[in-house]
Structure 1
Amino acid sequence: MTQSKKSFMDKISDFTMKLAGPIGKFAEKPVIASIQDGLVATMPVIIIGSIFLILYVLGSPSIGDSGKALLPFLEDLAPKFVVVNSLTMNFLAFYTSLTISMSYGKRLNLDLMTAALLGAGTFFMINLNGVTDGMISVNAFSASGLFVTMITSIIAVRIYKLFIDKNITIRMPASVPPNVGNAFTSLIPFACIFTIAWLVRTVLDIDLVVWFTELLQPLFSAADNIWMYTFRMTTQNILWSVGLHGDNMVASVFTPLTTMWTAENAEALAQGVSGVNLPHVMTNSGVDRLTNWTATVWPLILLMITSRVKYLRSLGWACFPSAIFTIVEPVIFGLPLALNPFLIIPFILIGTIAAIVGYAAFQFGLIARFYATLPWATPPFILGPLGTGDWKTIILVIVVFFIGLVIYFPFFRAFENAELKKEAEREAAIEETA
């Protein structure tokens, strides 16, 4: 018996599953998952810092060309707002030394308090033993030290786990309370880990933050470009198109970089760099949240609401409120858009075009770049002006929306006609049985 030839949709599905497998396995590895969870745990700190940075922008006369604050009554508080930002986003590396260590410790079945203390202690040992002119450098607290903190936190917890597994610890009698016993159990591994960090920073005088920054700067700079961003967004939408959560699978891989880049943009803005000249385009909840769903889902909902098919109109209105906040699962899985032979191709194509248009608008200075991270469900027409301080982000939202609408229209009409035919057949069948 000859095997039937696979359809075009089957080929797309097979390709996507092959692509999703390695990405999913990579994201699920304990080290990678621990880093991702640790960074996600710092989101409240980042968002609060971003809010105070927005207040600083609204109250600072040095932002913009007018020489006047956008909200004059905030002008006296502007310097105080930027201090809060410094204590949140500029301490990002320290916060992640706690959260990443705890996350990895949890996966290794270690005491969470011990893992957090180990991460914080290692952070200080590896960064703050270099003294110059009587001053201790705190550059490592900011996003500049984020990459080193990820590595040292993971290594420290892993070494601690090795000591525990090999029983290289001080054993206390069973009658000793667990919290006291755990403290003594940690003495030998803590002493070893702290000594290694102290030797690297103080005796060998190796500043890992400076060393890694110089080593990885070309790689990081190369990653923030229109080609990489377009590849990322296209890959995410391909995964979504077959029912997989593309954001969780792909965007999380970029989270360490985009988190660091957002913090660097915020720091540059606080130092007086104009919004269009901030160092990075690809940031947390930035151009992707502004353009992707506004181009790929919002036009589809408008077409559904105005459709001649009854159930599409009802579904469109039901999906509308959540879609405003870029909650798109009702459309992806409810229409469904995923594996829909009429809509899958325009969905991927629109996402790719929106990625190119959106990134280019920021890259060429048409719009100020993101310096703040806001909750991911913030509506794009609010997210853009607040996250960049530039109202022209609203124009970008409108542009990509109409791009999506124009591309979707003929495909949706074909889909609608097919559904109308099915609807007519169902009604005819009901009349026959009546």
Structure 2
Amino acid sequence: MNIQFMNVAVTLIEQRVTPFANLLTRSQHITAMRDSFALAMPFVIVGSLMVPLIFPPFAVNADAWYGAAYQAIRPMLLPTFELTIGLVALIIAFGASASLGKQYHLPERLCGLTGCLAFLVFIGFKETDTSNIFLGGIGIFSALISSFYSIEVMRLFYRRGWCIRLPEEVPVMTRNGFQLLMPLLAIMLSITLLNAILKQNTGMILPDMISEAFRPLIIASDTLTALIITIVICNLLWFIGIHGALIVTGIMNPFWMTYLFENQQALANNITPLPHIYLQGFWDFYLLIGGIGSTLPLIVMALRSRSRQLKSVSKIGLIPSLFNINEPVLFGFPIILNPLFLIPFIFVPVINACIAWYLTHLGVLDRAVAMLPWSMPAPLGAAWSANGSWKNLFMCLFAFFNAWMIYRPFFNVYERQLVESESK
């Protein structure tokens, strides 16, 4: 192994990647996207927990005792599923608007409500008597665009002073409410007018056009190429000390949520195979075994290490790593900016991703239909996110074994260096 070459590679990564990563990290709109999905996450998880009960992974015999129980319980659980997963775009509209408004030092709650109203006008909420399809995962991009538009208009009106301003003696809530009147009116009327013009000339409203425009991007994002690119970018950023997962998941969350919604719709309609592979469950439980870079095998190796440093870090990091938290390993070994671990840190998840992707594409593994907390232990998460698939659980265990075999020679070299250093 040429350590000098690895040091040059690390320096090159720092010089070329860090400025772009810092730019994305400071982006207010990406921060708002990330915050909105963090806000929606508990609602999506609760809705996902209903999936195995509403759509069980086995055929239900109506004549059996459990068939009658299923028929009685299913209607009671459906509202929870429909009001969490089914309204996820509305929740994201509130979260993105409130977060962006907070960053612009605007009234946070009023911004969130303005974003919700703008989104509802945007999707033509009352044009049909049935539930609007854009309230669920299919409307996520429309929710983000309408939210950003409404807050940017608010910001423009506030900066230019195109508002009704009341004296300081008036209560804050009343003062803020009157200040919002003019921008709110401009937002509502502009969206209504735009949709009316588009409807008259094209037969579609703006969310329909956005869905069509993003469809090629959604398809392209659910490919092995996109999967490998996101892994490499995320792990390279982590390797130089930047939280790459925040950037990558912030960009991928709209796609993952859309994929989740479409997989659940396909499951409800008994469509096989399900349309999407690259969901958050794939990312969390095949590629983050013990944390970013699949570092849980390193912890297990270090428990019996001859190096005092590695053994100490392993004792501290074992329990967090079981729940996919590996900062003690990244900074304690360290892996960050350690040339010895650059190759396995990037290629372990890439190789596991390729194996899992092709097995899923061939139908050997099951596709995810539920969103779970990323901190769930990987084998359990892999099974549960795919509606209780034991095959996915064994794939996760194989990915652990594969990571062990790739990390082992690099670990041995590093351990030998540390033992020699400690003996001196």
Tell me what 2:401 maps to. Answer: 402
- TM-score, normalization by structure 2: 0.90
Tell me what 1:117 maps to. Answer: 113
Post-superposition Cα deviations, 1:371-412, rounded to whole Å, max 9, x if no partner, equal 111111000111011110211111111211121122222222
Identify if the C-alpha distance between structure 1 residues 181 and 235 changes in structure 2 by more than 3 Å, giving closer, same or farther: closer
3-state SS of the aligned residue for 1:331?
A: helix
Conserved 8 A contact 1:126-1:200: no
Tell me what 1:418 maps to. Answer: 417
Q: Distance in 2 between matches of 1:293 and 1:145?
A: 29
Tell me what 2:87 maps to. Answer: 91
Amino acid at match of 1:172: L
1:317 to 308, 311, 315: 315
Offset, 1:105: 0.8
1:254 to 252, 255, 266: 252
Conserved 8 A contact 1:27-1:253: no
Identify if the C-alpha distance between structure 1 residues 262 and 28 changes in structure 2 by more than 3 Å, giving closer, same or farther: farther
Q: Distance in 2 between matches of 1:246 and 1:361?
A: 27
1:105 to 101, 106, 110: 101
3-state SS of the aligned residue for 2:50?
A: helix
Offset, 1:297: 0.9
Identify if the C-alpha distance between structure 1 residues 192 and 387 changes in structure 2 by more than 3 Å, giving closer, same or farther: same
Gaps of 5+ in 2: none
Identify if the C-alpha distance between structure 1 residues 168 and 366 changes in structure 2 by more than 3 Å, giving closer, same or farther: same
Identify if the C-alpha distance between structure 1 residues 166 and 343 changes in structure 2 by more than 3 Å, giving closer, same or farther: closer
- TM-score, normalization by structure 1: 0.88
* Number of aligned residues: 411
Tell me what 1:430 maps to. Answer: none
1:289 to 284, 291, 303: 284
2:371 to 360, 373, 382: 373
1:10 to 7, 10, 32: 7
Offset, 1:155: 0.6
Conserved 8 A contact 1:327-1:377: yes
Amino acid at match of 1:77: I
2:176 to 182, 188, 205: 182
Amino acid at match of 1:411: F
Amino acid at match of 1:396: M
Identify if the C-alpha distance between structure 1 residues 71 and 262 changes in structure 2 by more than 3 Å, giving closer, same or farther: farther
Q: Determine whether 1:198 maps to 2:196.
A: no
1:27 to 4, 21, 25: 25
Amino acid at match of 2:422: E
Amino acid at match of 2:286: T
Conserved 8 A contact 1:24-1:249: no
Amino acid at match of 1:408: Y
Amino acid at match of 2:299: I
Offset, 1:71: 7.3
3-state SS of the aligned residue for 2:120?
A: helix
Identify if the C-alpha distance between structure 1 residues 391 and 70 changes in structure 2 by more than 3 Å, giving closer, same or farther: farther
3-state SS of the aligned residue for 2:192?
A: helix
Tell me what 2:72 maps to. Answer: 76
Q: Determine whether 1:231 maps to 2:226.
A: no
Conserved 8 A contact 2:31-2:250: no
Amino acid at match of 1:156: S
Q: Distance in 1 between matches of 2:237 and 2:165?
A: 51
Post-superposition Cα deviations, 1:11-51, rounded to whole Å, max 9, x if no partner, equal 22223222132133123211221122112111111111111
1:151 to 145, 148, 157: 145
Offset, 1:153: 0.9
Post-superposition Cα deviations, 1:98-140, rounded to whole Å, max 9, x if no partner, equal 11111111111111222122112112212226635xx255111
Post-superposition Cα deviations, 1:81-107, rounded to whole Å, max 9, x if no partner, equal 233111101111111121111111111
Q: Distance in 2 between matches of 1:209 and 1:64?
A: 36
Conserved 8 A contact 1:243-1:332: no
Conserved 8 A contact 1:9-1:339: no
Offset, 1:55: 3.0
Identify if the C-alpha distance between structure 1 residues 318 and 170 changes in structure 2 by more than 3 Å, giving closer, same or farther: closer
Tell me what 1:332 maps to. Answer: 330
3-state SS of the aligned residue for 1:392?
A: helix
Tell me what 1:265 maps to. Answer: 263
Tell me what 2:155 maps to. Answer: 161
Amino acid at match of 1:392: K
Post-superposition Cα deviations, 1:343-385, rounded to whole Å, max 9, x if no partner, equal 3222222122112112222222211111111111000111011
Post-superposition Cα deviations, 1:306-360, rounded to whole Å, max 9, x if no partner, equal 3233443343233221111111111111111223333322222212211211222
Q: Distance in 1 between matches of 2:367 and 2:83?
A: 22
Offset, 1:257: 1.5
Conserved 8 A contact 1:23-1:250: no
Identify if the C-alpha distance between structure 1 residues 179 and 8 changes in structure 2 by more than 3 Å, giving closer, same or farther: same
Q: Determine whether 1:301 maps to 2:299.
A: yes
Conserved 8 A contact 1:237-1:351: no
Q: Determine whether 1:140 maps to 2:139.
A: no
Tell me what 1:3 maps to. Answer: none
Identify if the C-alpha distance between structure 1 residues 201 and 313 changes in structure 2 by more than 3 Å, giving closer, same or farther: same
Offset, 1:66: 6.7
Conserved 8 A contact 1:301-1:316: yes
Amino acid at match of 1:245: H
Q: Distance in 2 between matches of 1:418 and 1:278?
A: 49
Deviates more, 1:158-167 or 1:206-215: 206-215
3-state SS of the aligned residue for 1:360?
A: helix
Offset, 1:75: 5.4
